[in-house]
Amino acid sequence: MKAKRVNGPMGDLVAGPIVIGCGRRIHELVQLVAFRTTKQLCTEMERPSKKRIMGGVCKPVDLAWPDYCAGLCIADVLPADAGPGRRYEHSTLFGEATPDLRSIKAVLPGPDRTRVVPTIEGRVESDALLEALDESEPFVVFGTLVRPCVPPAEVEVVATRGKRGVVRGREELSFPHACTA
C-alpha cells in the first residue's frame, strides 16, 4: 500500500517497507509491514481494501527489542469502521512479542462464553529478512480485526512458549475509549 510513512523527526527511510505477515480477518486482507528509518524501526498493520494503516509502533534503532517489549505486549486496541449511528463496528489489535512465543491469539470474555480470535503474525527471524530491514535482532509483531468494537480493557492476548505453557498480556488504558462494553 502506498502511504507517506516517514516525517522529519523519524529520519530518512533506509529499508522497506516490507510485508512481513499477511492474512484474512473478517473477509479482509490484513498486512503487517515493517520499515526502517535512520532513527527508528517501525511496524504497522495495513488494511489495503480500506486504504488505511491501523496501529503500529516505532522502536528507536538504538533500543534492544527486549527493552522495548519483554514478552508479549499490546501496542494498541483502536476503534475502526464507523457504521450506522456512528458506532464503531470493529476494533484493531496490534502488538509485539518475543520470537519464542507461538500461537498468539486475542481472548475476549463475553456474557455467554469466552471468544478466541486468531492473529496474523509477522515474524522477522530469517537472516534475509533481518538483513533487508538492517536489523540484528529477531522480532515478532501481531495484529487482527475484532468484531464487534471492544474497549482495550476487555482484550487479553495469549501465546504459548514451548513446554512452559501460556503467556498472557493486557493493555493498560488511561483514557476513555470509543468502544463501550
The cell numbers describing 34, all together, are 515493517
pLDDT attached to residue 20? 96
Q: In this structure, are residues 99 and 145 in contact, taking their beta carbons and an 8 Å threshold?
A: no
Asked if residue 156 belongs to a domain, the reply is yes
Q: Summarize pLDDT for 90-136 with one digit per residue, the tens.
A: 889 999 999 999 999 998 877 777 888 899 999 999 999 999 999 99
Asked if residue 85 belongs to a domain, the reply is yes
Q: How far apart are CA 102 and CA 162, in angstroms?
A: 8
Please provide the average confidence, as pLDDT, over all residues in the chain: 84
CA-to-CA separations, 46 to 94, 131, 180, in angstroms, rounded: 11, 22, 24
Domain limits at 157? Answer: 11-170
Which region among 53-62, 83-92, 136-145 has the lowest average model confidence (pLDDT)? Answer: 83-92
Instruction: Write down the pTM of the prediction.
Output: 0.86
Asked if residue 74 belongs to a domain, the reply is yes
Domain count, the chain: 1
Asked if residue 21 belongs to a domain, the reply is yes
Asked if residue 2 belongs to a domain, the reply is no
Asked if residue 96 belongs to a domain, the reply is yes
Q: How far apart are CA 127 and CA 125, in angstroms?
A: 7
Q: In this structure, are residues 78 and 92 in contact, taking their beta carbons and an 8 Å threshold?
A: yes
Asked if residue 176 belongs to a domain, the reply is no
pLDDT attached to residue 41? 92
Asked if residue 51 belongs to a domain, the reply is yes
